[in-house]
Chains A and B, each alone.
Chain A
Amino acid sequence: MTLCVYVIPRREKHPNSRLFWDKLASLWASKLMALCVRKLDRKVTWDDPRKDEPWLGPNDLRADALSDLLTDANKLSVWVERDEVSLRRILAAVAAKRDLLVKLDFIVFDFAILGQIGIEHEQVAGDTQDSVVNACHVDLVQLTAEKLSNFGSRIRAARKAERYQHKTVAQLIQDSLDRGFIDRNLLKPAVAAKMRAP
Chain B
Amino acid sequence: MSHATAYDFSSASIEPRQVRALYKLREKLEPLRRRLVADRFPKDSLLTGANSASPLIQKLVYTLVDSDPARDSWIEYQHTGEPGAIAEAVGTVSETISAVTTTQVLDRAIAQNIESLLTIARDEHFEDGMNSNLSVGLQVLFRNFSAEFARVLGERLTKGGISARILAEMFYALGQIEDDNTKDWRMATLVDFLKSPSPVVRDAAAVGLAYLDDKRAAPYLREAMDRESSETLKEDIRAVVEQLTA
A42: which B residues are within 8 A, CB to CB? Answer: 165, 168, 200, 203
Least Cβ distance of A116 to chain B in Å?
26
A167: which B residues are within 8 A, CB to CB? Answer: 243
A43: which B residues are within 8 A, CB to CB? Answer: 203, 232, 236
A42-B200, A98-B128 known; 19 new pairs, CB 8 Å cut-off, are: A41-B126, A42-B203, A43-B232, A47-B232, A48-B232, A50-B229, A50-B230, A52-B229, A64-B165, A64-B200, A67-B125, A99-B131, A100-B176, A101-B129, A104-B128, A104-B129, A165-B210, A165-B243, A167-B243
- Contact in complex: B129, A99 (CB < 8 Å): yes
B127 close to A (CB within 8 Å): yes
A85 close to B (CB within 8 Å): no
Q: A52-B229, A163-B236, A165-B210 are known contacts. Are A45 and B200 too (CB-CB below 8 A)?
A: yes
Least Cβ distance of B107 to chain A in Å?
29
Total A-B pairs in contact (CB under 8 Å)? 68
The answer for the CA separation of A52 and B211 in the assembled complex, in Å, is 29
Q: In the complex, how many residues of chain A place their beta carbon closer than 8 angstroms to a beta carbon of chain B? A: 28
Interface centre among B129, B131, B233 (most CB of A within 10 A): B129
By secondary structure, the A interface counts as loop
B49 close to A (CB within 8 Å): no
**Selected A-B contacts with CB under 8 Å, 25 pairs:** A39-B128, A41-B126, A41-B127, A42-B165, A42-B203, A43-B203, A43-B232, A44-B199, A44-B200, A48-B231, A50-B229, A51-B229, A64-B200, A67-B165, A70-B125, A95-B129, A98-B128, A98-B129, A99-B129, A100-B176, A101-B129, A102-B176, A103-B207, A105-B128, A166-B210
Other-chain contact of A44, B203, B229, B240, B243 (Cβ < 8 Å): B203
B236: which A residues are within 8 A, CB to CB? Answer: 43-44, 163
Least Cβ distance of A2 to chain B in Å?
41
B120 close to A (CB within 8 Å): no
The answer for the CA separation of A165 and B246 in the assembled complex, in Å, is 13
Other-chain contact of A47, B126, B168, B230 (Cβ < 8 Å): B230
Q: In the complex, how many residues of chain B place their beta carbon closer than 8 angstroms to a beta carbon of chain A? A: 26
Other-chain contact of B211, A95, A160, A163, A166 (Cβ < 8 Å): A166
Interface of chain A residues 27 through 85 with chain B (CB within 8 A) = 39, 41-45, 47-48, 50-52, 64, 67, 70
B200: which A residues are within 8 A, CB to CB? Answer: 42, 44-45, 64
By secondary structure, the B interface counts as helix
Interface of chain B residues 179 through 234 with chain A (CB within 8 A) = 199-200, 203, 207, 210-211, 229-233
B127: which A residues are within 8 A, CB to CB? Answer: 41
- Contact in complex: B240, A165 (CB < 8 Å): yes
- Contact in complex: A98, B130 (CB < 8 Å): yes
A45: which B residues are within 8 A, CB to CB? Answer: 200
- The 5 closest A-B CB pairs, nearest first, are A98-B129, A44-B203, A47-B232, A41-B128, A102-B129
B243: which A residues are within 8 A, CB to CB? Answer: 165, 167
B142 close to A (CB within 8 Å): no
B233: which A residues are within 8 A, CB to CB? Answer: 44, 47
B62 close to A (CB within 8 Å): no
* B129: nearest chain-A partner, CB-CB: A98
